[in-house]
Structure 1
């Protein structure tokens, strides 16, 4: 079973992704910030990260920069409702993909499934 780290400061968003990921046979692990996510990387084998962009205590930009410095870092999908963020910019920071909120869960899960 693949471990997917869901990073979002919204409990509702984390819980929704947890349910969807479990329904697709993945093991979701949840974090409320980039800092919490980095701590969990030392505890769990993480196969993929799905992270919000705008959060307190280590946002998606911060998390992307930290992952770049790690050897064998997991791939990361960024999701955001920030209209200033562009796919080109997010991918240039090292993200595997960028999904603008609102997105369909089917589209996200089709992409996640294609990663594995």
Structure 2
């Protein structure tokens, strides 16, 4: 079960989104501001962060930036009731997966969650495959050397 962190300073939004993502089969982790979100992000294995843009202490773009410093592969969806083109551009430049406008369409949210998690999982798979490739590349010279040694031993 994937952990989805929901960050908003409005308790009603947190409750609604928590119940919704839990109904979809995810484990919600909640935070009321950016600082609490960072603490919980370090404490839990968070697969996806969904955060409001306007937060006390640290806005959603600043939170996104800090999360990317901790784990560059973290997927973050930012939502806002105050759509501004500049904040959307800033968020996407830093690495937000997507940007939603309130009121949030739950069908759209579910689709974006699934896509973000799929992207994260593809990244993990790609990293694993790269590791296997390097292991194979490194092991080829070892087998070659062993073959030469074996051939030498068999000749003598």
What TM-score, normalized by structure 2, do the two folds share?
0.69
The CA deviation string for residues 2-25 of structure 1, in whole angstroms up to 9 with x for no partner, is 000000000000000001101100
Where does residue 53 of structure 2 map in the other structure? 53
Q: Secondary structure at the match of 1:79?
A: strand
Task: Indicate if the aligned counterparts of 2:64 and 2:91 stay in contact, CA closer than 8 A.
Answer: no
Task: Indicate if the aligned counterparts of 2:7 and 2:30 stay in contact, CA closer than 8 A.
Answer: yes
Structure 1: which 4+ aligned runs deviate by more than 6 Å? none
Give me the CA root mean square deviation: 1.5
Where does residue 100 of structure 1 map in the other structure? 101
Distance 2:59 2:89 in 1: 18
> By percentage of residues, which structure has more strand?
1
> By percentage of residues, which structure has more helix?
2
Q: Post-superposition shift, 1:106?
A: 0.9
Q: Post-superposition shift, 1:114?
A: 2.4
* Greater C-alpha radius of gyration: 2
